[in-house]
Amino acid sequence: MEKEQILEMVKKYYREKHVRPPYKGGDRINYAGRIYDEKEMCNLVDSSLDFWLTAGKYTEAFEKGLGKFLGTDHVSAVNSGSSANLLAFMTLTSPLLGERTVKRGDEIICVAAAFPTSVSPIVQYGAVPVFIDIELPSYNINISRLDAALSDKTKAVFMAHTLGNPFDIGSIQKFCDKNGLWLIEDNCDALGAEYTMNGKTRKTGTIGDIGTSSFYPAHQMTMGEGGAVYTNDPLLHKIIRSMRDWGRDCVCSGGEDNHCGQRFMGQHGTLPFGYDHKYVYSHNGYNLKVTDMQAAIGVAQLEKLPIFVERRRANWDRLRKNLECVSDSIILPEKQENSDPCWFGFIMTAKKKNSRNKIVAHLEKHNIQTRNLFAGNIIRHPCFSNLINGKDYRIVGDLKMTDEVMNNSFWVGVYPGMTNEMLDEMVRRIKEAVNL
Ligand SMILES: Cc1ncc(COP(=O)(O)O)c(C=O)c1O
């Protein structure tokens, strides 16, 4: 049997079983969802028939393709966005970075209105997250507090572009440059967003030292589970690859041997001379690689990514325009100056105290899925109960707006599967909800 015959059957199966009927009034409107066609399914089956399983030809094609989309030199695919954040942060702890190495007890500036795994690598390592409040309506860090956060232990700034709206990268990059700090952009919710600085427009995630992505189904593109870490810095890239792939020193990919021709010729640590370089470990690493099946889906999604980005922007614009009339009751989102966001969702904050839950209940009752802004205030979660303020973490001033968002904000979707009818139904129900 030829592979082509199987792939023809997969295409037919997709058309028969996966093509959804168009939206009818009253149907569920999810906040996100996978958008795919026969190409993703054929790539997945093609890869499974190859049965290479681990990172291989599709992973290589995916890393190259994502690098091209982002305009960045080095991309490393990983198995989730949380792994990407872990890897990005742990890269900064490499001794290869000399006096800029992040050590235990060093401080990392971040926000408490966060996704948990943008903060947990800092805590797990024993560095100290220093939390700054956010501001509305950008839902990103309040940069006026950056100077107050700085101490002689500060080594990095690490936070997400909230719901696809870039934070003020211009000011933050200037602050990092002035103080010799690393900048990690958690780009998991913002793939495709752009920011213009010094007359140059670049994709978010590629402006700081390291960027991260998630390919969980809700995100700008998907491979089921998956993620990526990217950088323009060859030394950071070398550390990322080492830590991703068990901590090893050698750059040969899995299954490849003696690419450099020096495999049995070096002195490494106190190992015997000529110890097999393929099994020499320069970092205490992980295995965070993707399978080739995940990457195969990613390769097909990359082709659609520019359209996904366009659709998200157009959907957000339609909601923003048609909801202007409720701005007395709801704080509407605003895009960051100098940016072209790639929206993950449409976030709103109820102005009247205790009215968020009533609005959300009305939307959910009418089959419109809603979400809160991730952890709200991460410090108020049980995972922080045993951590000590002033020792394990620090707060700069107060977190008043973070708590405001925890109490009064919610968001709805703008994913490319939304039609104008669905968007207009959301507008109608939101208008109803604020007048209840
Ligand atoms: C900002 C942000 N960072 C990190 C992650 C983690 O990604 P993953 O679910 O792929 O682990 C998410 C997930 O939604 C996220 O929104």
Whether residue 254 lies inside any domain: the answer is yes
What is residue 262's predicted lDDT score, i.e. its pLDDT? Answer: 86
Q: Which atom of ligand 1 is nearest to the CA of 82?
A: 11
Residue 260, pLDDT score: 82
Determine, yes or no, domain membership for 285: yes
Q: What torsion, rounded to 10 degrees, do the Cα atoms 139, 141, 145, 147 define? A: -160
Ligand 1 contact, 186 CB (< 6 A): yes
Tell me, what DSSP letter sits at residue 323?
T
Bridge pairing between strands 182-186 and 128-132: unpaired
Domain containing 142: what range? 38-301
Is 384 within the bounds of a domain?
Answer: no
Alpha helices in 74-195 (DSSP H): 81-91, 116-125, 146-149, 169-179
Adjacency order of strands within the sheet including 154-160? 74-78, 227-231, 210-214, 182-186, 154-160, 107-111, 128-132, 394-395
Cα–Cα distance, 143 to 153 (Å, whole number): 19
Residue partners of 166: CB distance under 8 A and separation at least 6: 140, 190, 193, 194, 195, 204, 336, 339, 341
The answer to whether the CB of 115 is under 6 A from ligand 1 is yes
Tell how strand 107-111 and strand 128-132 pair up: parallel
The Å distance, Cα 216 to ligand 1 centre, comes to 8
Residue 118 beta carbon below 6 angstroms from any ligand 1 atom: yes
Query: Kind and range of the H or E element at 319?
Result: helix 292-322
The pLDDT score that the predictor gives to residue 255 is: 77
**Count of structural domains within the chain:** 1
| φ and ψ at residue 90, rounded to 5 degrees | -65, -25
Catalytic residue among 18, 74, 161, 219: 219
CA distance 71 to 136: 30
Separation CA 374–CA 380 (nearest Å): 12
72: in domain: yes
Task: Assess whether the C-beta atom of 163 lies below 6 angstroms from ligand 1.
Answer: no
Q: What is the mean pLDDT of each run of 10 residues along the chain (436 residues)?
A: 96 96 95 97 98 96 98 97 98 98 98 97 98 97 98 98 98 98 98 97 98 97 98 98 96 81 92 95 97 98 98 98 97 97 98 94 98 96 97 98 98 97 98 92
Query: What sign does the dihedral 92-96-100-105 (CA atoms) show?
Result: positive
Token code pair at residue 169: 């990268």
User: Is 65 within the bounds of a domain?
Assistant: yes
Q: What is the pLDDT of residue 185?
A: 98
Question: Catalytic residue at 381?
Answer: no
pLDDT of residue 259: 83
| CATH number of the domain where residue 227 is located | 3.40.640.10
Question: Residue 167 is encoded by which pair of tokens?
Answer: 């934070």
Answer whether residue 347 is part of any domain: no
**Number of neighbouring beta carbons within 10 Å of residue 264:** 12
Q: Is residue 328 part of a domain?
A: no
Q: How far is the CA of 374 from the centre of ligand 1 (A)?
A: 9
CB count within 10 Å of CB 241 equals 19
196 found inside a domain: yes
